[in-house]
Amino acid sequence: MSLRWLIDVESWSILADSSQWQSLLSSIELVERQRIQRFKFHIDAKRCMVGRLSLRKAIALYSGVPFKDVALSRNKFGKPFWQPPTHFSGPIVDVNISHHGKYVVLAAEPNLAVGCDIITIELPGREKTISISTVNEFFNDFQNVFSDGEWKIIRSRGSPVLQLTQFYIFWSLKEAYVKAIGMGLYFDLQDVDFFYTEEVDMFCGIQARDLRESKDMSEWRFDVVRVDDLHIAAVATHPRPSSSSFASTQLRPEFSKHKSETFRYISVDELLAFE
């Protein structure tokens, strides 16, 4: 069973000095609690809190381990992962979160590596008008992030809005991929090249090739969904747990039948009610 959660953090009204907030802080690991308390703006602290709680809730649902006993650590690149209890015999769950704008998204898979990303389709900074000139200026800062093939696809889109959307589709896919392999910022995003095998629309038929080894990444699955008019989310899955080596892989038979999962909207209150 796959999990895909979409959580609206912006609509969660909770004050930093409330008893509920303090109780939630006390329920998570000290290091993560200190991370949350360092945020200058409360909305950023809320995103981080919801992300941390959703990780633990998802693992508790999969494993049957009580929420309070779910132990999370980070690998050397900073990706959170679950440490099962000694003698645990259930499925090893890989779970990943991302947050941007008003949303936190979560993707979880048993016995698969998974990474996810969500992004807002907008120009950063004060300049919010999307035009040919503003989009071109924005793109100039990312020339070394995308391959020549990806730039060709991005530039082929007619309007500046569509070009920006395609840019963020590829960006979000790259982020989901590097999170699935657990390397984050330590991976060169230009080493993976996304393309369309059969384009029905901008969100379907996407595959990738490894430019370092000059081979298609057919063992991977990449999905992109439009969450709303301003947000897109991407998920990358692979038939090896994220703790395993990606140097060589044999596909699990059922993985080839794996279908794209839709994100389920849940409120923060609903998230907190999960047992």
Mean pLDDT by 10 residues, the chain (275 residues): 92 92 90 92 94 92 86 78 80 89 93 93 81 93 93 95 96 94 74 87 90 89 93 92 41 44 90 77
Q: Is the CB of residue 62 less than 8 Å from the CB of residue 91? A: yes
Residues facing 192 on adjacent strands: 210
In this predicted structure, what is the pLDDT of residue 171? 95
In this predicted structure, what is the pLDDT of residue 249? 37
Nearest Cα neighbor of 72 from 88, 94, 90, 89 is 94
In this predicted structure, what is the pLDDT of residue 83? 79
Residue corresponding to tokens 């060169």:
188
40-55 burial, b at 16+ Cβ within 10 Å, e below that, comes to eeeeebbbbbbbbbbb
> What contacts 101, CB < 8 A, 6 or more positions away?
10, 118, 120, 230, 231
In this predicted structure, what is the pLDDT of residue 37? 94
In this predicted structure, what is the pLDDT of residue 191? 87
Q: Is the CB of residue 166 less than 8 Å from the CB of residue 174? A: no
Cα 142 to Cα 8, 28, 145, 170, 190: the distances in Å are 29, 37, 5, 12, 10
Angle at 250 between CA 58 and CA 206, to 5 degrees: 70
Q: CB 35: neighbour CB atoms within 10 A?
A: 15
Residue corresponding to tokens 């849940």:
266
By three-state DSSP, how is residue 81 classified? strand
The pTM of the full predicted model, rounded to 2 decimals, is 0.87
In this predicted structure, what is the pLDDT of residue 184? 63
In this predicted structure, what is the pLDDT of residue 126? 62
Gap between the Cα atoms of 60 and 171, Å rounded:
31
H or E stretch at 216 = strand 215-216
In this predicted structure, what is the pLDDT of residue 66? 86
In this predicted structure, what is the pLDDT of residue 245? 40
**161-166 contact pairs (CB < 8 A, 24+):** 161/121, 161/130, 162/202, 163/135, 163/139, 164/121, 164/123, 164/130, 164/135, 164/138, 165/121, 165/202, 165/232, 166/202
In this predicted structure, what is the pLDDT of residue 251? 38
Cα 241 to Cα 61, 236, 237, 246: the distances in Å are 18, 12, 10, 9
